[in-house]
Amino acid sequence: MGRNILKSSLENASFSIIFQVFFRCITFILNAYIIRTVGQEVLGIMNVRLLLLESTILFLSKEPILKACLTNTNSRNWAQVINQIWLSVPLSSVINILLVYVWLYVLTPTEDKYLIQYQLGCYAVALSCLVEQLTQVTVLIAQNFCFIKLKVVIDTIYIVSRTIIFVYYVECDPQRPINAFSIAQLVSSVILCLAYYCFFFWYIRALNNVKAIEKKKQNTQNEKNVKTIFSDMNDFPITSFWQLFPGIMDNEETMLDPKLCLLTVSFIKQSVVKQILTEGERYVMTISPVLTFSQQSIYDIVNNLGSLAARFIFRPIEESAYFYFTQMVKRDEPLAKQNKKHIAETVEVLSQLCKVVVTIGLLVVTFGQAYSYSFLFLYGGYKLVESNLPVLLLRFHSFAIVLLAINGVTEGYVFATMDNQQLDRYNYLMVIFSISFLLISYILTYIFGPVGFILANSINMTARITHSLRYITKQYRLTEFQPLNGLYPGYKFIIALVASGIFTKLSEIFLMEKSIILHIGVGGAFFLLTISIWASDNLQLLKLSYDKYKRKSSIKED
């Protein structure tokens, strides 16, 4: 391929992590603003009910087709791929109609004072999702040809514009905050769509100009500088802006690739159950009156805070790893018949990813026990920590993060390398996981309250991890590779974690009431000590990372 897949995947993960940090910082500040301005109930309606509608529509209509189209795109017929990705628009339309009806007429209604705003919110979310589906062809091309910075810039514009519009309308009319939410969702989705298409309109025209210059064999310095922008794009398949739309590009084959359609169907089945597993607690809260909107907002805040590591680090790593594995390992061929160099590199990457995410997860567990109260207090003040429930939820979340870490990487590898038959079999297993998860969530929530959501999610993730580990072990059973060795941390690191956990907990008991700053200082010192011990055990990995960074910097300077 005309690019380095591993390098692009790592860059994608790095930029995604930075963007997630930026996005979540805005979200947390915005949540605090909403609580202080319009109250917790409104936050529950927007963050749980309406955003659940958005995530459900997007996940079911976008995720399966995009994943299927990203699979081994280098050997695909691009006309068929573009036709396929546009199927997300009619699919989204059908899903919109069904889900909006459910959200308006089946689910528990809101209070009368919010009812009209809530109805407008449902329609606005559905329409914004449909607009976002119009961008999927540009998103696919940007991801396949590694336009990493483009995605970060446009997503940042999208988030910032949505936030500014929302805050502006809330300040203008604080009595109708859900209307402000609706307007912000719709306008920002239009901005997102226009930004992607405007870029590719410019890019395709500029690329065609460069090709025309090359044909004339003109070699002025200015032309050479222009060529560097497009040096890796000799295999770029789009020669006209209108080819971004279905049925335009020349195609000697059928309109759609049958194999790609079958893969999409497999991913649709998978997406349904994965969405239930991902947003299961919100579905339980939405469908059954387990918690009030106010309680839902508190749970949502704590859940977001508890999932910082998952959202900032694990999810971008999982997405980039999935793309990397799809390009390096072929689904329909046994490992023995594939490129040995690619397989060896894949095993090394999988092992190192497991090592990194497990390390981060264990750090969160250790320091989360002693610093949950401090974290919540600094974020929301006494009002947020006046009851023990938020602190208890955050401490339980820290244990779940280890499972999130392992599941994200291992399941990403499994989904990227399974063939159609294996995906179909796993879909049936995921159905069992989903049904079990919903039942366990309802039972445990009835017994333990909101903590039951976390317990149920942990049980499900454990089951999914077990399946992934069995799949990977079986796949490499007849080889010399051991890709799961990264799951086992060093004994020195474990000892450091235990010591840090004990001393930081003592600090919470004896020092926090006197000085929260001193308590945080103790945690910082033990955190640095623990990280140093881990680094001493992984000098080879750090040296390799430093060498790659140094080599990349020297290339840029040249």
- Domain positions in the chain are 48-279
Q: Is the pLDDT of residue 553 over 70?
A: no
Q: Percentage of the chain with pLDDT > 90?
A: 21
Helix (H) or strand (E) holding 455: helix 451-475
CA distance 479 to 141: 35
* Dist CA 396 CA 86 (whole Å): 42
pLDDT digits (tens, 9 = 90+) for 7-52: 655 555 565 666 666 666 776 677 667 666 776 678 778 888 898 8
Which pLDDT value is given to residue 352? 86
Contact 159, 26 (CB under 8 A): yes
Q: Which residues, 6 or more positions from 195, have their beta carbon under 8 angstroms from its beta carbon?
A: 154, 157, 158
Tell me if 53 sits within 8 A of 122, measured CB to CB.
yes
**Is 208 buried (19+), middle (13-18) or exposed (0-12) by CB count in 10 A?**
middle
Q: How far apart are alpha carbons 117 and 558 in whole angstroms? A: 57
| DSSP secondary structure code for residue 71 in this structure | T
Are the beta carbons of 161 and 152 closer than 8 angstroms?
no
Question: What is the pTM for the complete model shown?
Answer: 0.64
DSSP state, residue 109 = P
Q: Is the pLDDT of residue 516 over 70?
A: yes
On the 0-12 / 13-18 / 19+ scale of CB atoms within 10 A, 255 is: exposed
| Other Cβ atoms closer than 10 A to 138 | 23
Highest mean pLDDT among 7-11, 68-72, 169-173, 384-388: 169-173
Q: Is residue 423 pLDDT above 90, yes or no?
A: no
Please write the tens of the pLDDT for every residue from 318-349.
Answer: 877 887 888 888 877 778 778 888 888 888 88
* pLDDT above 60 (res 549): no
| Dist CA 35 CA 113 (whole Å) | 18
Average pLDDT over residues 47-68: 85
Q: In this structure, are residues 23 and 307 in contact, taking their beta carbons and an 8 Å threshold? A: no
